[in-house]
Structure 1
Amino acid sequence: MLRRFLNFRRPLHYSAPIVSEEVQHAVKNNIPVVSLESTIITHGLPYPQNLELANEVEHVIRDQSAIPATIAFINGSPKVGLSTEDLRLLADPASSGLPKHKTSRRDIPYVVARGLTGGTTIASTMMLSKMAGIKVFATGGLGGVHRNGEVTMDVSADLEELSRTDVAVVCSGPKSILDVPRTMEYLETKGVPVCTFNDGNAPFGKHVPGFYTRSSNVASPFEFSSPKEAASMIFASLNMGLDNGQLFCIPPPLESALDLNFINSIIEDALQEAKVLEISGKNVTPFLLDKIYHKTNGKSVECNAQFVLNNAKIASQIATELASLTKNESSIPNKNKAKFNPSLNTPRIPQKVEAVIVGSIAHDTMCSLQSGYIANDSNPGTHAQSIGGVGFNVALATHLASRDHGSFVETRLCSAVGNDLLGRGLMETMKSCGMATDAVSISENFPTGTYVSIHDHSGALVVASADMKVVENISIEHAMECLGKYQPRWVLLDCNLSNSLIDSIVKLEDFDVVIEPASAIKAAKLGKLNNLRIFPHNSVKLITPTVTELNAIFNEFHDNCLFDAYQNEWFPVVDSLGLDYNVRHALDREFERNDYLRPLLEQGFLTKTFRLLPFFNNIIVKDGKNGIIVFQIITDCDKYDNLIKGSKIIGSVSTFSFLTKGKPVGVGRIGVLVQHFPVLDVVPSDEIINVTGAGDSLLGYLFSKLSADSSWLTRLDSTRESYLINSMKSSAASLKSNQAINIDQIRQIP
């Protein structure tokens, strides 16, 4: 059994995107990188011309001392930086015999879920470029508003992506078969700067190019005359956190450009023919391109290839200049730019986000009844309104806990609000607390979450009602985009989320996960997950249930037969922890001696927790005024022989500390540490104002310390002990506040 424990197979996991080592190295070391889309390979040209052009474009970028990063979906996996085999698979349909899918933002879940292969459009290439940290992207022509788009509402997703994804797109303008004036109006409305390269061949520098032509006769809002000017615009946008893309239009080379009137006459004739033949919808574009190809005797394809190569060359030069600006920040044109001052009311624009909380945000209404209330009747009382939700509370506590103690933890809340007055109010409140709102999506389908609680005169909860449909419907796509963008060390989930979203996140291997059960009903979701892994490979490193929530988790595991399903992997861990009869008997005695803990024995509390430990190797049980009970799997137990005397860690304030010594395995001799920490500063009942944020404050404090440096969690030293004690101080501070999180006091806890 021990051999099975050490060698069981780990399940496969999806990670988005898969970035080549070359591209990772370049991004990390500020080497210029240019991303490339792949629909020109899968749908733009026939084989082998498409493969030849794909290789030639990459060579052009390398000739400019930049790194190419062609992007595509290969067997359902998004890849940034393709191998030779990947390019051939995309280019040659006969190599796999499978269809190649044109993959825009809309198509990604379908392509990934079915393990399909597809070329990326401008929209999906921008998304994956951003996730990989690439800021410059070269392509051929831009999608846009189609002719008669005011009637058909046929607008390319490329335009919407430019409005919300901060990647610069270098292209030859909107495709000539589109409605260029309306495309430019749409981009203006969305706040996307459009800038045309003036290569000295006036007057065309003042007009947006028309794909095959050097001018579309549509004025360009801005122009630039050097790659450095373009890079300065990109850098200024990034530095201000504008979060939108920029469009840089490069007229096709003089020697390959086609005449505007000639191309327009072909398009007009082809549109009339399409109308007669009743060709409509998505079939119009390939019909028009085919007509242009034949009417120009193939020159349109030659022109296309030449301007793609030219765009890649100039994009590489822009990326090189941007890398130089990033290296030497003082070279930005605005030399008087404001310096960041980490005050409470100033959101910080990060280079790296250490902590992401995926969870609920809601409008809270707390009603406090006077003494001696009557059920089923109206009662006098008071009420207060505030921003709340487990996710927000933990995020705010995490955000505040490290601000004044030299280890600032950059935090993001990934959540959703409705497109309503409450939602807008919550977003403004977040900003006033110094929190960024860029990971909070706006839902058109559900109202902002609300939580109404009724408390007795002592502050204890009587009953509460929550409407969290907007949070329960946070899309997997939105969460994955946030996680890919921020690449955090730790991710915290609250169980207001849907089962499918929790499952999708816990199966990833890119970060460690903490789960806050939120309530007994919602805690049961943990027993319905399909992607949990067993120690030492579990991604869920910590859960923080109450006693009631832990019982709910165990019951769901038991009822769904998860202990049986994981028997071959789960039992060897339990068997190796040293939980024999003598150890269990000694632990029982420790619980019997403790007035707070004695009742838990009758509930089978120890047995339940031990059985859950292989799934969640750190369990901190919150027991209100009785303190916290910590259960942890500890590796290399032998080194603590001189630290534990009897049932106490020397110098510990815990009522007892019990460490079992199990079997030596690959990670060292493992065992279970059980500790009870009492509340040292009990808040008198007459000083308790509300209890809604006590657990969230405790967890937020701990999460800030984990995200800064998680090594303390399994290190039996004074740092670990002080963090556990201070987390309860944070909890106590919230009890004395009208707000769920006591903003003034939590910042003072070291």
Structure 2
Amino acid sequence: MEQTNYNKLPIRSNIQVDKRKTKLCRHFRKGGDQICHYGSKCIFIHPEDGELYQNLIADTEEYHQQKTMINEKIGKLYQKRKVSSNFKKKQEYAKTINETIRQWNEDYPKAPNYYDLHGMTEQGAIDYVLDIVKWMRVKNVKTSRLETGKAFDISADLQELSQTPVCVVCSGVKSILDIPKTVEYLETHSVNCVVYGEGNVLPSFFTRKSGSKAQFQTESLEEVVELLKTSKTLGLPHGTVLACPIPEKYAADGDLIQQAIDQAVREAIEQNIASQQVTPFILARVNELTQGASMKTNIALLENNASIAGRLAAKLCDRRPIAISKMNRNQSSMVSKPKVVSIGAAIVDFEAITNEDVKDDGGSYNGRVVQRMGGVARNHAEALGRLGCESIFVSAIGDDQNGQFFRQNSEKTDITRVQMITNRPTCTYLAVNVKGNVKYGIVTSEPLLSTLTPKLIEANSDVLECSDFILLDSNLPVPLMAKTLEIAKKHEKQVWLEPTDIDKVKKVFSTGLVDAVTATSPNANEFLEWAKLCNVKVDTSIVNSADSVLELIEKEKRRLLLNTSLFVVTLANKGSAVVHRNKLGQLEFQALPPPLQMDKVVSVSGAGDSFNSGVIAGLTHNKSVVESLQLGQECARLTLQTTLAVSEAITPQLLK
């Protein structure tokens, strides 16, 4: 019979509805209470749905955790099989490997009639496929799916690097190993491989070049420091390999030593030397064959690596002095401020505020009009400055009265990188606020923003390259955004994208560098547009609750999240839906309540920018994601209670 199409199975519920069961009930996902309060009325999938439940359970976090464990187990079995010199023992290990994978397919089926052959030995896979074919004939099953791949031995130190945030300074991969596969494993498990030297070619211990490339090459230890700091800030659990080629003056001995290594490996095989005796034997034999040359080279490698590691450690521990106020002139502080660069428009805001029932009748309504500084990036820059960051603003203003107003109201921000454009007006924005909600706004930004080119970013590339975080405003022209993302991607900088409105979401996709964005915060409408651009079909009612948004993101995480580590969907008075990666690299889903009750809101302008800034400030001050989100909520709450775009109550004290 044909394989069942489970999306067309009738629902378990006794309630007659048109929906089909395609989602797992959230109560039975990881972290759920395992008790659905709707019982048989629930239209989502429960364990009692049998095969339908098994079809979906394979995509849960539990499945992926178990898959990781089974891969590690198989890797260890392959390692034992490789070093064993006993033929019978090798066969036993192979049998255990194949039986383990068969059992895995029975216990954790990815889908009905779906078989994962990854890790099996060649003969084991052949036997398994023959058994599957026999079973299909008996059961009259016409279609089965096989997932195949080539297995390879995994060293314990590689596994450790994939789960421990440590920097290993070394001379590359030993030539006695399978270098391409070693590099592939490290890349697959998010371990940074960096070549410190000329050319992106990994060294192979005694020789300066192997046939493999790393993900990254640099001649600057400062770039390595930024990479390590960013990884730490984001709580990434993976290690970094800094491969340092053998010094040039010792490279001439490389070929001689490599020949000796090849001979020593052959002798080890011939003499049945196995397990932990292999490496000591090879090193000793190579020293004999080279008449001590390998020992001298080995010592030179050690000294070179130690020197680089020492300089790297010194730069990691470096602290730049902050500005000393008059009151603290005798108490110099060596605590550095995290550096955040905000790029976008500087706008002078005018907001008309009323609590009356406004109608489209041409009438006049009682209220007030306030003037303040605004602009998405400028708001972030001010809030970040208030939160103890070294806040640098890259933008442009006109040589006019509004430009002067901007300069007079930027005491918390470094505005030395803001260009003044003649014959162009400073950007302005008029918002109409009715009972705490901005009904619409009118902006005059195009005349000035259209003059901004990638040259502005190139002129400020130095500050971008040494930043801890970059905030990017989508109001900017696409070429300028593309240049910013290009630099950020090259130097592996964290980028928070603020979409600003539904029509500007597509800009970042137009750059072709959306994968350089590591955090973003769309509102409800912007999220719907984001999903559309990611080719995810969404019912607009999904944004009526944070839980619905989270369920969609969990289902479509690979397409929606792209390369982001933090994804925040703000839903006004419905709160926010937050997805972030924890220290283990696993996704966590969280619904946040609104920062403030709507009846206490004075103005929503700038609240989202204050929230983002609080999160960024928390992350760059080495707080956890949860703590940073709490800080963001508090910053938003304070701004919601004022007509200012950024509340003056936001101070570094909030970080304590």
TM-score interval for Structure 1 and Structure 2 normalised by the shorter chain: 0.3 to 0.5
TM-score by length of 2: 0.46
Greater relative CO, 1 or 2 (CA 8 Å, sep 6+): 1
TM-score by length of 1: 0.41
